[in-house]
Amino acid sequence: MAGSRLDPRRRTGAMAVSGTPPLQGSPCLRPGGVLSAATAAPALAGGPHAFSGSIAVPSAVRLLPVLVLLAATGAVHAAAPPPACFAPAALAARPGEEIVQPRKGAVALPDRVLAAAQPVPAPLAGAIRRVDLPAGVKLVALTFDLCEAGGEVSGYDGAIFDYLRQEDVPTTLFAGGKWMMTHKERAMQLIADPLFEMGNHTWSHANLAVRAGTEMQRQVDDADIAYAVRRADAAALGCAMAGPERTRMFRFPYGSCSPEALAYVNHTGHLAIQWDVDSGDPAFIGAKVMADQMLAAIRPGSIVLMHANGRGKHTAAALRLLIPALKARGYGFATISELIAKGRPVVVPTCYSMRPGDTKVYDDAARQGRRVLPVQ
């Protein structure tokens, strides 16, 4: 296992899960599916955990929620990976594509009813920081945000994806809904590629610590609608869809949330994924410094935050240093779903970047209508 990815032929397809009545103000969710909450109840007989600091989900309650999660995410495939539906030339990086461009005006989103979602099991509700792994298991999850705020079209850092594909490194991508709508071809390519697991990063990189009610809910729902639209677009081209009908992972912009937003994200079937290693890639630091800092901070079960939307200034170059160094130390790479399946998620009751309270600068700026860079 050390130094390699999980065998893609061991992956399973997506499974429908039953829904629950939507929270007030969410018009996109409806009950349905085949797996009931009662089915999961025996494995969760211990009931919800009372949060105090962080928890690692005990093995007694871990197995069924993780199996449900892996089935729902479509993170693994039972048979050989599907044939590529995009030519290598179409996948390759293009000069200038990573540059963030100003753009005014609304981005259209079709009306769509989302697939039903079962709320996250109580032991996994909250914000997941990292995963505690058994002794001797050395896995790390590299994650990349593809966010796009209002008034801009952010980039696509193709050099990152070229290298990940070259090295066969599985990763989890947290894509904004607006980004997926303004990057149709690239979104389809990523969704159709079994190397990547797709997560939700809100519609327009809104700070959900200061959004409430329907406005907050639409940021979550609209990103899943955009994902469903691009997934359908890829399927229409004949791409074999390995991923689920809607995302099962979510990352809060700026690493910040309110109790209401965290509860809604979990209610709509999303695991809230934070990180324990921040690359710092939006800052103007060199590739070697960035790689060295990440390498010093990574330990088995780490979740690493990076950006692939043009906000990561030297991320592609840093990866070419980081990945070989991790392999030399015996590490393998996993998606978030794969990482969770191997160990015990460390769950906390609130959101933060690296320590509780450190997102206040972003929250205050959002309340005042300002934007603070670098962004998460």
Structural domain boundaries enclosing 21: 8-85+108-367
328-360 residue pLDDT tens: 999 999 999 999 999 999 999 999 999 999 999
What predicted TM-score, i.e. pTM, was given to this entire model? Answer: 0.81
CATH of the domain at 117: 3.20.20.370
Q: Residue 276 domain-assigned?
A: yes
Q: Residue 281 domain-assigned?
A: yes
Q: Residue 61 domain-assigned?
A: yes
Whether the pLDDT of residue 177 is over 50: the answer is yes
Task: Calculate the average pLDDT of the chain.
Answer: 82
Q: Residue 218 domain-assigned?
A: yes
Q: Residue 224 domain-assigned?
A: yes
Task: Report how many domains make up the chain.
Answer: 1
Q: Residue 375 domain-assigned?
A: no
220-279 residue pLDDT tens: 999 999 999 999 999 999 998 878 889 999 999 999 999 999 999 999 999 999 999 999
Q: Residue 92 domain-assigned?
A: no
Q: What is the 3-state secondary structure (H, E, C) of the chain?
A: CCCCECCHHHECCCCCCCCCCCCCCCCCCCCCCCCCHHHHHHHHCCCCCCCCCCEECCHHHHHHHHHHHHHHHCCCECCCCCCCCCCHHHHCCCCCCCCCEECCCCCCCCCCCCCCCCCCCHHHCCEEEEEECCCCCCEEEEEEEECCCCCEECCCCHHHHHHHHHHCCCEEEEECHHHHHHCHHHHHHHHHCCCEEEEECCCCCCCCCCCCHHHHHHHHHHHHHHHHHHHHHHHHCCCCCCCCCCCCEECCHHHCCCHHHHHHHHHCCCEEECCCEECCCCCCCCHHHHHHHHHHHCCCCCEEEEECCCCCCCHHHHHHHHHHHHHHCCCEECCHHHHHHHCEEEEECCCCCCCCCCCHHHHHHHHCCCCCCCCC
Q: Residue 16 domain-assigned?
A: yes
